Chain A
Amino acid sequence: MLADITLGQFYPADSFVHKMDPRVKIVLLIVFIVGIFLAKNLIAFIPAVLFVILAARMSRLPVRLLIRSLKPLRFILIFTFILNIFFLQGNLPEGQEPTPVLDWWIIHLTAEGILQALLYSLRLIVLVLGSSLLTLSTSPIALTDGLEMLMTPLKVIRFPAHEIAMMMSIALRFIPTLLEEADKIMKAQTARGADFESGNILKRAKAMIPLLVPLFVSAFRRAGDLAMAMEARCYHGGEGRTRLRVLKCTWRDLWGAAAAVLMVAGCVLISEFVHII
């Protein structure tokens, strides 16, 4: 299960998307998300899907990796799809009746409902793919640098942009270490007869204590050590800090931005003029 989490698992490659400015990529992701929420029907989704496919191709990421990022989502996807199928009737103009497909016992399926459920699932898939594209093609360092820069204007209202970025980058650094540690503690407790897998929810939650307490203790110990090490290396906040990596916008970012704007425009226009459900 733990191996499924691709978030923060940067996949290095030499590609157009990898070389884009992380700030631009973050902004584009936000634009992209707005775009897919403005797409009101399946046809309007075509630009968004094209955009993801294009970005995926240009990122030179293995398709397998992208598909794997959807894996943890599979239950939610199936669940929402089924739920929507039963409860959605589609957005129909006034007075128009839904087209029944199946009417049996308490189950009433309509064509519009199915399309709507498809739309919701697709939205979720495209959303996750887009975010994964960002995290897979952007090193955690670039990502936090980008976020820090984007948040810098907020410093005016005393928003701790540097501190938050530093926290994020440290979190990213320690996630694999802590996952490994969790695995080890779990095994150690299993060797002492602990059972993490059977029993009802309450029992299982209780069974987590022997895993969580040592994990927290360890995380705090590591935090203490790390704070000491950072101090020894002259860390004293964002004041007067220089950077190894300086972010620069290039023509690539311009092209990326243009593509994203086109995509959003496409989504909105199609939603306006094409009504299929």
Chain B
Amino acid sequence: MRIVLEKVGYEYQQGSPFSAVALKDIDLTIREGEFVALIGHTGSGKSTLAQHLNGLIRPTQGTVYYEDEEGRADIHGKGYSKKSLRRQVGLVFQYPEYQLFEETVQKDVAFGPKNLGLDKDEIDARVKEAITRVGLDYDAVAEKSPFELSGGQMRRVAIAGVVAMRPGVLVLDEPTAGLDPGSREELLQMIKGLHDSGTTIVMISHNMDDVARYAGRIVVMQKGTVVMDGTPREIFSRGEELERMGLDVPQSCRLSLMLRKDGFPDFPLCYRPEEVTEALEKLLGGEGRAC
């Protein structure tokens, strides 16, 4: 399933004196199996865009389609059921642990599948699977209150609540915000696992090192529009532009850019630490040829 946005625009409180344009003229296709990173400043429209992907927000202009071999459907069109919308695209909000509410982890994760109207056996199976998928021990946590868990674990439970709905596309709004490096790494590995098993991932992130490591495609947003769209290599090769927009680049990318500017114009543009190490090895090991 692909998500196709055509000329999508969104204006807050349209028609009132407080209106503000959040998105304009977005043409974007999320293809099946992709790992897309959505980057940009706070207020660039990333989160608003994310909420368009599963129909939580209705665009004030343009159309959002879900498209497969059989054709495309306008998700806000008549006859398109909300249930099937939520089933296809899952959305994990920022700090999702703040939405937990049930007495036990099991019940909380079951909330989504229940709303889909599944039968009990199916729900139980999915809950078990989802909790395991996010890297928690089902038997250890299932009957615990979600509020007894650590922050990192709570976040996993919240993500499991969306994973249990088995969406083909999973949209995550800054899933690692506020986590320490260890938990961040584990969570990203978990997301990568979901991607490897076939889930399309759209991830909003501020951390460029994470983006460089995991994403296959990067969409850069600024002031409500998409300003860049391409592979990490393509995007980070425009590192200076990103920096001018006030966005970070991965540390490795920053280092390569600095070396290029500072006497090594032929230094390759790397965006992962392994690549930099390799390139430096060549540069320094090659009897100082480059110098």
Contacts and interface: CB of A to CB of B under 8 A. Distances in A.
A157 interface: no
Majority-rule SS of A interface residues: helix
Nearest to B103: A213
A194 B101 contact: no
A213 B96 CA distance: 14
Contacts of A213: 101
A184 interface: yes
Most B CB contacts (10 A, CB to CB) among A3, A184, A188, A210 go to A188
Counting contact residues on chain A (CB < 8 A from B), the size range is 10 to 19
Q: Is the interface of B mostly helix, strand, loop or mixed?
A: helix
B93 A214 contact: no
Interface string A1-22: 0010000000000000000000
A194 B83 CA distance: 10
B38 to A, nearest CB: 16
B111 A191 contact: no
A49 interface: no
Given A193-B83, A210-B111, A217-B147, A188 B116 contact: no
B99 interface: yes
Contacts of B54: 191
Interface string B78-98: 000011001000110100101
B96 A188 contact: yes
A187 B162 contact: no
Interface string A170-214: 000000000001001101111111110000000000000110011
Nearest to A64: B17
B112 A185 contact: no
A189 B116 contact: no
Size category of the binding interface on chain B: 20 to 34
Nearest to B93: A188
B115 interface: yes
A99 interface: no
A23 B123 CA distance: 59
A191 B86 contact: yes
B56 A191 contact: yes
A152 interface: no
Contacts of A193: 83, 86, 111-112, 114-116, 165
A181 B114 CA distance: 24
A218 B98 CA distance: 7
Given A184-B93, A187-B56, A191-B56, A209 B13 contact: no
A217 B101 CA distance: 9
Contacts of B147: 217
B161 A192 contact: yes
Nearest to A211: B101
A192 B115 contact: yes
B190 to A, nearest CB: 19
B26 interface: no
A3 B16 CA distance: 11
A194 B90 contact: no
A234 B29 CA distance: 54
B100 interface: yes
Interface string B256-282: 000000000000000000000000000
Nearest to B117: A193
Contacts of B82: 195
A193 B123 CA distance: 14
A214 B99 contact: yes
30 contacts: A181-B98, A185-B99, A187-B51, A187-B56, A187-B93, A188-B91, A188-B96, A188-B99, A189-B99, A191-B54, A191-B56, A191-B93, A191-B162, A192-B86, A192-B111, A192-B112, A192-B161, A193-B83, A193-B111, A193-B114, A193-B115, A193-B116, A194-B111, A194-B115, A195-B82, A195-B115, A209-B101, A214-B99, A217-B100, A217-B101
8 A-B pairs with the lowest CB-CB distances in the bound complex, closest first: A193-B115, A213-B101, A192-B112, A191-B91, A188-B99, A188-B93, A193-B86, A210-B101
Given A190-B56, A191-B56, 5 more contacts: A188-B96, A189-B99, A191-B91, A192-B112, A210-B99
